[in-house]
Structure 1
Amino acid sequence: MVHQEFIGREAVVAKRGEYFYPCTVHFYRDSPQLVRGSMQFVYDEKGKRYTDFFAGVSVVACGHCNPAITSRTIEQLQQLQHTTTIYLTQPAVDLAERLAEVLPGSMCRTFFVNSGSEANEGALLLARMHTGRQGFLALESGLHGRTNLTMSVTGLPMWRTDRYLAEEVSFIERPYHPELSLDDAATRSLESLKRVLEQKGHSFAAMIVEPIQGNGGMIMPVSWYFRELKALLDEHGVLLIADEIQTGFGRTGAMFAMEHFGVVPDIISMAKALGNGVPVAAFATTDDIALSLNRPSASTFGGNPVSAATALAVLDYIRDERLPERSAELGQRLQAGLLALQERYPELIADVRGTGLMLGAELSGEDAAAAAGITDDILEEMKDRGYLIGKNGVGRNVLAFQPPLIITAGDIDGMIAVLDEVLLQVRNRK
């Protein structure tokens, strides 16, 4: 192993400040320099171990540097590293075939790209090509990417950076409101959709949704919501795009989160966990819809041999280790622990929501700024005690739990015990 000199967290922060764009931020007031990972653990430059409950925002679902996966990545890297789709290689077609086996419904066509933003951009383009329409529908507080078009269908204000976004987007009230039941919030959302469709349903190519809004605060609709939504879209010839970039590949206790709702979308986008840290993404659809994307196209790096071989190893590992089932089982344990903490600290935890190992705990405060501050304080304390958790939500006041799916029951119990100590400390300071 090559010895590496670690310059230390202060020097990394200084170099980021000098060479990165100012939009690049990081968690924590005293952020560790992460230098090594092994399954559910990462280590800093001082050798301290952290149990990772965020997994790079749902990316390393199979664990950091999982040898069952990295060995196959290295093997392919040493054999053939790169060609483009204008040449014939086997890993990409093998991966497309494997995806057809696990994708919902009759989806069997896949276009490979590099990132979730690019996958969603391609899905939106495909919808326009197939329908001949220009406009899009999206849910408020959704997040779909940082390209111009994916940012245009993003409903979270903090991620809508470009002041010149596409205007052909109509936002629908999301199926969640803190003062309404999930049923009432879903009904309100569908009524919002009906109104827009009645006015200009003929102008929309597709509606893009996250089955569970991750950055929006772990928002999971009531079980019947997407069935009603899909029926409304079908009446007007509008396609449904499921953005499964955070939710896909076992994260929620099912291979894809739309399975919880009994709905098969027209197009599905995927990334993150598919490569377990190696950049690979895709959008998939049926034979019929795929026929519409027929003008010459290519992706320089999409489906390259290394990323495809890695994704094949990921799919093998998910199958062999039964990770969706594991996520469902351990997710119940984690959720039970968070609900017990909510009962113990009702003045701090307003809500616990999500499913599988995609859970959120919304925090309370005197106002939105106070709640966000408490969230940051808890992240800092948990990090100091050896646990990395995330945050999201419209007000950045939702603790996000998205660990590698290979996390253990002991890891969960240990994290809950430490979070209990931290919450008690926060309450005593108030």
Structure 2
Amino acid sequence: MTMQTTWTLADTAARRDRFYAASQKKFVPFREPMVFRKGSMQYLWDVEGRKYTDLLGMNVCISVGHSHPKVVAAAMEQAQELTHCTTMFYHPVPAHFAEELAATLPKGPKGDVEWVVHFTNSGSEAIDLAMTMARDYTGNLDLLALRSAYHGPTGAAQSITGISGWRHAGMPGNVAFVAEPNQYRGIFGENAGAQPYLEEIERTIHAATIGKVAGIFVESVQGYGGIIEMPKGYMTGAAERVRAAGGLYIADEVQSGFGRTGDHMWGFEADGVIPDIVVMAKGIGNGFPLAAVVAQKHIAAPMAEKFMFHTYGANPTSCAAGRAVLEVIREDRVQENARVVGAALLERLQDLKQRHAAIGDVRGRGLMLAIEMVKDRKTKEPDAATTSAVFEACRDSGLILSKSGPYQSCLRMVPPLCLSLDDVDTVAEGLDRAFASTA
């Protein structure tokens, strides 16, 4: 069989439609198919040679830039020497990466918090493992999760996902959902702060569990939920209440980690909380399949009693890419870039809100931003139709982003962290054209 090196859009679309399972059809974003041929840093080119600014980062997986030369070189060098080594054998690359990854986590006020790492293949597998780890350590079964949370498509991860469009039949039980502290359309009204939502955690533990829990999963910034930040005091307060009920605080940093919020390496640092377990994936490998559960050492200790294995979890090629990602984050100062460029882009989005009545809210931090569409700013009724229309028009403006939120009424922007100030005008003007074309 000869490997084909060139493809047309029509050929690729026909093959995908013929051989992809129906389970993958819902996730196709545009009405007409797209085939990307090339990526370089924050840009993409399709098979017809058209250039796009990538505001999606291939679902947040591209952290430091498409085909970043340092990441590609590290992976290629390792793949040429030894592509894979199963976890049962020792290999220096994952061992060094585990040490370097653990070093990015806070050591606590006394400097005595020790972190250990378990590599997995994907964020969903990491979530599953974190669920098992929390239940093993605490001896409790009940877990808490937030409404409008997204934690992954595997059976266990779906069980703590609070968006119906991502949930399928047959999920495991022992999960209670608490209201997410949405400061725009939350159940306690606009800008209600953290306190009423913390009281809701207490009520949920009392009414929907046995009074003891294994833990709570919190995305430090909800991604598919529509870029919902946790208000000041929420993460700290949630950890206090869950720990009082015998549980652990598990931070889901799959989308908000690796400097994306601009102010910190990890989203949970915005509130000063020290999690018991941190789940990370997506940007960890800049496109190479990799994820990790990083836990306080004593929390992970009971897992030594039984086998736990992920086939490609500590793959040295992916871990070599991961090591290079950490190096690029430091050397290229991408966290600082996310802070500066994100603030400039958010300011432009706020200007768009003043000029387009369909925009109900703009929000986010760093390079994790969203525009939420509503039919009426007073009622805040979600407007998925306008969101879809603007989303389609963004393609014509050379912008790639995604729809998100429980009602698919948000445009989510999570670009590679190398997006520049020079790109801000391109993005803002492209969005302005998209909104104007659908008015």
TM-score w.r.t. structure 2 length? 0.93
Measure, in 2, the Cα distance between the counterparts of 1:300 and 1:29: 36
The equivalent residue for 2:302 is 292
Deviations 1:112-163 (A, max 9, x none): 00100000101111001101111111001101111111111111100111x1
**Count of residues in Structure 1 that have an aligned counterpart in Structure 2:** 424
Measure, in 1, the Cα distance between the counterparts of 2:341 and 2:56: 15
The answer (yes or no) to whether the contact 2:337–2:420 under 8 Å persists in 1 is no
Residue among 86, 102, 105 paired with 2:104: 102
Measure, in 2, the Cα distance between the counterparts of 1:376 and 1:183: 27
The equivalent residue for 1:116 is 123
The equivalent residue for 2:10 is 10
The answer (yes or no) to whether the contact 1:135–1:206 under 8 Å persists in 2 is yes
The equivalent residue for 2:66 is 64
**Residue 324 (structure 1) aligned with residue 335 (structure 2):** yes
The structural deviation recorded for 1:305 is 0.9
Deviations 1:320-341 (A, max 9, x none): 1111111111110010010011
The structural deviation recorded for 1:368 is 9.5
Deviations 1:202-240 (A, max 9, x none): 431111111111101111121111111111112112101
Residue among 274, 277, 283 paired with 2:287: 277
- The percent identity for this pair of structures is 34
Q: Which runs of 4+ in 1 moved over 6 A?
A: 366-370
The structural deviation recorded for 1:181 is 4.8
**Residue 230 (structure 1) aligned with residue 239 (structure 2):** yes
Q: Which amino acid aligns with 1:139?
A: L
Measure, in 2, the Cα distance between the counterparts of 1:56 and 1:104: 29
The answer (yes or no) to whether the contact 2:337–2:417 under 8 Å persists in 1 is yes
Measure, in 2, the Cα distance between the counterparts of 1:175 and 1:256: 19
Deviations 1:219-266 (A, max 9, x none): 112111111111111211210111110111011112110011111111
The equivalent residue for 2:401 is 389
Q: Which amino acid aligns with 1:16?
A: R
The answer (yes or no) to whether the contact 1:175–1:187 under 8 Å persists in 2 is no
Q: Which amino acid aligns with 1:376?
A: S
The answer (yes or no) to whether the contact 2:360–2:380 under 8 Å persists in 1 is no
The structural deviation recorded for 1:201 is 5.4
The DSSP-based 3-state class of the residue aligned with 2:103 is: helix
Residue among 24, 30, 33 paired with 1:31: 33
Measure, in 1, the Cα distance between the counterparts of 2:105 and 2:414: 22
Between 1:169-178 and 1:290-299, the stretch displaced more is 290-299
The equivalent residue for 2:274 is 264
The structural deviation recorded for 1:165 is 1.5
**Residue 361 (structure 1) aligned with residue 371 (structure 2):** yes
The equivalent residue for 1:167 is 173
Measure, in 1, the Cα distance between the counterparts of 2:11 and 2:212: 52
TM-score w.r.t. structure 1 length? 0.94
Task: After TM superposition, list the pairs within 5 Å mapping 1:124-163 onto structure 2.
Answer: 124-161=131-168, 163=169
The DSSP-based 3-state class of the residue aligned with 1:98 is: helix
Q: Which amino acid aligns with 2:178?
A: I
**Residue 426 (structure 1) aligned with residue 438 (structure 2):** yes
The equivalent residue for 2:42 is 40
The DSSP-based 3-state class of the residue aligned with 1:23 is: helix
Deviations 1:85-134 (A, max 9, x none): 11111001000000111023324200000100000101111001101111
The answer (yes or no) to whether the contact 1:201–1:236 under 8 Å persists in 2 is no
The DSSP-based 3-state class of the residue aligned with 2:145 is: strand
Deviations 1:54-106 (A, max 9, x none): 10121111110011110111000001111111111100100000011102332
Residue among 180, 189, 192 paired with 2:200: 192
Q: Which amino acid aligns with 1:330?
A: V
The answer (yes or no) to whether the contact 1:362–1:399 under 8 Å persists in 2 is yes
Q: Which amino acid aligns with 1:256?
A: W
The DSSP-based 3-state class of the residue aligned with 1:263 is: coil
Measure, in 1, the Cα distance between the counterparts of 2:220 and 2:199: 19
Measure, in 1, the Cα distance between the counterparts of 2:138 and 2:145: 17
Unmatched 5+ stretches in structure 2: 108-112
Between 1:401-410 and 1:381-390, the stretch displaced more is 381-390
The equivalent residue for 2:317 is 306
The equivalent residue for 1:336 is 347
- Would the alpha carbon gap of residues 171 and 370 (structure 1) be closer, same or farther in structure 2, given more than 3 Å must change? closer
